């Protein structure tokens, strides 16, 4: 049955291999059925098919350069690869019936089916170890660009709310205690900053992925003198990986990506927490949009912030994916190990989850109405002006610590009289410090407390206006940059439509 040993080197007859596995030659018995199912990865790595096809094309061309494939063979191979790309684009359901072990096996089987023995030539001098690393890097660069686009849209939605609600004060809190009044727009822009950092983190992960492993072989390199630089250029990589052993071992780019996803999730979770609190009756700062809330099966009055709660809840999975891969990587010997196959499933799932979470968060932020009366009322709580009171005394020459102490005494006096402290008489406060003048109590207001914070990055309206304009500028720059990064998947599709082979 196993006739491969007698096969002539040039034209191995397709019918005389024991099976179409990529590695069956030295095996006598079939794998255990349960183990076989356990080791297969096609169910999830089929997602890498567009990238695998792009790498295959580049490899075919590189094999021609070194005389392994003839011009006609390259043309036929690329034509067959294009046909798969086209089928993938038209109706990916043809993948469902496949019994391929993994995406690499899938392509080889399809090529052999189409081209006979020529299909076996493409794998000359290469290994699935370098292929999977290359495919995964390409996927990740596209995925990062996709999420960056979504983040740009999300930050735009936040900026829109900041513009719409410009001038509305709210109570700024620390330790969940009322602290100082701020502008609602300032609060919203704080979230925008965090999500812009996530854009940078994704960029960092994408740059880490931007080195081409092809030519690294299984671990040792390539013995056919393949032009690694040409393949990297062909695939749109900026550079080649520097060490073949590292190239098949390394998944730092995936870890960086998962860290960036965990950052997004953590920031989304914080925003979610803010909105859940704001939607409570005690705060009532926001009116939950019907589109992003659900009711109770028992209590007719309920309107629950489920969109935000689920976003907050799903953050566990994302951080979990990061910890899962870190744990897989820990203690692996240098070189390719099959454990590395575990990198994909959780990363794909985490990526998809983040994409959905961002889409929902964008919709929910855009649809949220702010209860400006409640926000203003909370911001007008005189306790929030205590620091302004101390500042008043500082302006009259008192060291801050003493000023702080005096306002503390004023607050205690108000408490004793059962009054709000700003309603104490001038006489009462002057008993505590003669530095208080007529203008003191009348000078305490939300507007003034906010207007004094006129530093760059502060909450004064003038500062926030500048911050908003700067944010808009950053979003525009980001969107322009993102527009120019056409992803590999799109390039593969474009080529399959035009039938372009170069």
Instruction: State the catalytic residues.
Output: 175, 296
CB of 188 to ligand ARG, least distance (A): 42
CB of 218 to ligand ARG, least distance (A): 7
Nearer to ligand ARG, 151 or 247 (CB): 247
Tokens 């099959």, residue? Answer: 338
Stretch that binds ligand ARG, among 258-266, 335-343, 358-366, 450-458 (CB under 6 A): 335-343
Pairing of strands 239-240, 211-212: parallel
Sign of CA dihedral 352, 357, 362, 366: positive
Strand partners, 371: none
Nearer to ligand ARG, 41 or 161 (CB): 41
- A 10 A CB-CB count for 25 gives 12
Sign of CA dihedral 169, 366, 288, 311: negative
Stretch that binds ligand ARG, among 205-213, 338-346, 414-422, 468-476 (CB under 6 A): 338-346
Residue 485's SS3 state is coil
Tokens 């203690």, residue? Answer: 331
Residues of this chain, 132-171, that bind ligand ARG according to CB under 6 A: 132
Distance of CA 250 to the CA centre of its chain: 20
128 binds ligand ARG (CB under 6 A): yes
Distance of CA 223 to the CA centre of its chain: 38
CB of 97 to ligand ARG, least distance (A): 20
Residue from 148, 211, 341, 353 touching ligand ARG (CB under 6 A): that is 341
Residue from 82, 102, 210, 256 touching ligand ARG (CB under 6 A): that is 102
Nearer to ligand ARG, 339 or 352 (CB): 339
Pairing of strands 286-287, 239-240: unpaired
* Contacting residues for 301 by C-beta, under 8 A, at least 6 apart: none
Residues of this chain, 217-246, that bind ligand ARG according to CB under 6 A: none
Nearer to ligand ARG, 129 or 262 (CB): 129
C-alpha distance from residue 106 to each of 22, 50, 95, 176 (Å): 10, 12, 9, 56
Q: What is the 3-state secondary structure (H, E, C) of 282-349?
A: CCCCEECCHHHCECCCCCCCCCECHHHHHHHHHHHHHHHHHHHHHHHHCCCCCCCCHHHHHHHHHHHH
CB of 301 to ligand ARG, least distance (A): 51
129 binds ligand ARG (CB under 6 A): yes
Nearer to ligand ARG, 42 or 154 (CB): 42
Stretch that binds ligand ARG, among 157-165, 252-260, 306-314, 333-341 (CB under 6 A): 333-341
Nearer to ligand ARG, 218 or 355 (CB): 218
Determine the Cα–Cα distance for residues 480 and 496; give it in Å rounded to an integer: 26
CB of 349 to ligand ARG, least distance (A): 15
Determine the Cα–Cα distance for residues 394 and 363; give it in Å rounded to an integer: 46
CB of 340 to ligand ARG, least distance (A): 5
Stretch that binds ligand ARG, among 53-61, 195-203, 258-266, 336-344 (CB under 6 A): 336-344
Tokens 């006489």, residue? Answer: 427
Nearer to ligand ARG, 128 or 149 (CB): 128
Strand partners, 222: none
340 binds ligand ARG (CB under 6 A): yes
Nearer to ligand ARG, 54 or 340 (CB): 340
Nearer to ligand ARG, 45 or 256 (CB): 45
Q: Cα angle at 445 between 440 and 450, to 5 degrees?
A: 120
175 binds ligand ARG (CB under 6 A): no
Determine the Cα–Cα distance for residues 104 and 126; give it in Å rounded to an integer: 11
CB of 125 to ligand ARG, least distance (A): 15
* CB 314 within 8 Å of CB 322: no
Instruction: List the end-to-end C-alpha distance of the chain, in Å, as a whole number.
Output: 41
Residue from 5, 29, 330, 338 touching ligand ARG (CB under 6 A): that is 338
56 binds ligand ARG (CB under 6 A): no
Stretch that binds ligand ARG, among 5-13, 127-135, 179-187, 415-423 (CB under 6 A): 127-135
Burial class (CB in 10 A: 0-12, 13-18, 19+), 231: buried
Residue from 12, 17, 45, 251 touching ligand ARG (CB under 6 A): that is 45
Residues near ligand ARG (CB under 6 A), total: 9
CB of 21 to ligand ARG, least distance (A): 11
Stretch that binds ligand ARG, among 124-132, 207-215, 233-241, 383-391 (CB under 6 A): 124-132
Residues in touch with ligand ARG (CB under 6 A):
41, 45, 102, 128-129, 132, 338, 340-341
């Amino acid at each position: 049955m196993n006739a491969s040993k007698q096969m002539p080197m040039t034209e191995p007859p397709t019918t005389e291999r024991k099976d179409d596995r990529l590695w069956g030659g030295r095996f006598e018995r079939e794998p255990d059925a349960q183990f076989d199912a356990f080791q297969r990865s096609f169910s999830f790595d089929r997602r890498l098919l567009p990238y695998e096809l792009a790498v295959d094309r580049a490899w075919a061309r590189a094999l021609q350069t070194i005389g392994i494939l003839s011009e006609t063979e390259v043309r036929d191979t690329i034509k067959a690869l294009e046909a798969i790309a086209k089928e993938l684009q038209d109706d990916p359901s043809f993948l469902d019936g496949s019994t391929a072990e993994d995406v690499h096996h899938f392509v080889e089987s399809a090529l052999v089916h189409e081209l006979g023995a020529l299909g076996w030539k493409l794998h000359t001098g290469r290994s699935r170890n370098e292929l999977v690393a290359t495919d995964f890097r390409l996927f990740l660069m596209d995925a990062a660009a996709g999420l960056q686009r979504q983040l740009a849209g999300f930050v735009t939605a936040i900026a829109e709310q900041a513009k719409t609600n410009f001038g509305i004060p709210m109570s700024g809190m620390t330790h969940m205690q009322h602290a100082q009044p701020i502008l609602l727009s300032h609060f919203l822009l704080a979230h925008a900053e965090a999500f812009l950092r996530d854009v940078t983190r994704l960029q960092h992960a994408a740059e880490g992925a931007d080195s081409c492993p092809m030519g690294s072989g299984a671990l040792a390199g390539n013995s056919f003198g393949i032009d690694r630089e040409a393949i990297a250029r062909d695939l749109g990589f900026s550079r080649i990986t520097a060490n073949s052993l590292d190239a098949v071992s390394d998944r730092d780019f995936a870890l960086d990506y998962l860290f960036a996803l965990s950052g997004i999730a953590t920031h989304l979770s914080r925003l979610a927490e803010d909105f859940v609190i704001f939607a409570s009756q005690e705060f009532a700062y926001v009116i939950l949009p019907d589109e992003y809330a659900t009711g109770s099966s028992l209590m007719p009055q309920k309107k629950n912030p489920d969109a935000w709660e689920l976003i907050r809840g799903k953050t566990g999975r994302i951080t979990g994916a990061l910890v899962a891969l870190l744990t897989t990587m820990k203690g692996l010997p240098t070189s390719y190990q099959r454990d590395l196959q575990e990198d994909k499933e959780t990363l794909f799932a985490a990526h998809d989850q983040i994409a959905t979470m961002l889409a929902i968060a964008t919709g929910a932020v855009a649809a949220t109405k702010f209860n400006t009366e409640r926000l203003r009322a909370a911001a007008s709580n005189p306790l929030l002006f205590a620091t302004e009171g101390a500042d008043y005394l500082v302006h009259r020459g008192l060291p801050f610590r003493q000023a702080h102490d005096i306002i503390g005494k004023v607050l205690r006096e108000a408490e004793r009289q059962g009054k709000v402290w700003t309603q104490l008489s001038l006489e009462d406060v002057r008993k505590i410090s003669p530095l208080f003048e007529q203008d003191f109590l009348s000078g305490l207001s939300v507007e003034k407390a906010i207007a004094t914070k006129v530093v760059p990055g502060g909450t004064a309206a003038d500062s926030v206006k500048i911050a908003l304009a700067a944010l808009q500028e950053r979003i525009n720059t980001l969107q322009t940059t993102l527009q120019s990064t056409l992803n590999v998947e799109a390039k593969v599709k474009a080529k399959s439509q035009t039938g372009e082979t170069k």
